[in-house]
Amino acid sequence: MISIRITRPSDIGAVLRAWRDDHRMSQVDLAKKLGVSQRWVSHVENGKPTLQLGLVLRVLNELGIDLFAGATRGAGAEAKSAVLAQSAPSKRLTDIDSIVDD
């Protein structure tokens, strides 16, 4: 299993590219599967920072890519090798409600 710490848009692109390579799919094939354009897939893989986060997350979910658990859903070893981000080393957790203004 490959572990990648997600710190910038290009890291997500690397995850998507690894998944696509493991599944022997072209950008065009993946775009058709997801209902997006090949250009959009290319933008994600190249780390374009202005992509809509909601769509990126929906696509990762559709492919079974779990950015936080460090694994993908699904049976294949190929899918498991594609991924992903483990949380940063354990630190004291902060209650988000305590720092957000009401």
Q: What is the pLDDT of residues 19-60, one digit of tens each?
A: 999 999 999 999 999 999 999 999 999 999 888 888 888 888
Q: Strand, coil or helix: what is 55?
A: helix
pTM of this structure: 0.61
Identity of residue 15: V
How far apart are alpha carbons 69 and 53 in whole angstroms? Answer: 19
Give yes or no for a contact between 13 and 46, defined as CB atoms under 8 angstroms apart.
yes
Backbone angles phi, psi at 14, to 5 degrees: -65, -40
Q: How far apart are the C-alpha atoms of 6 and 36, rounded to whole Å?
A: 23
pLDDT in tens, 72-89: 555 444 444 444 433 333
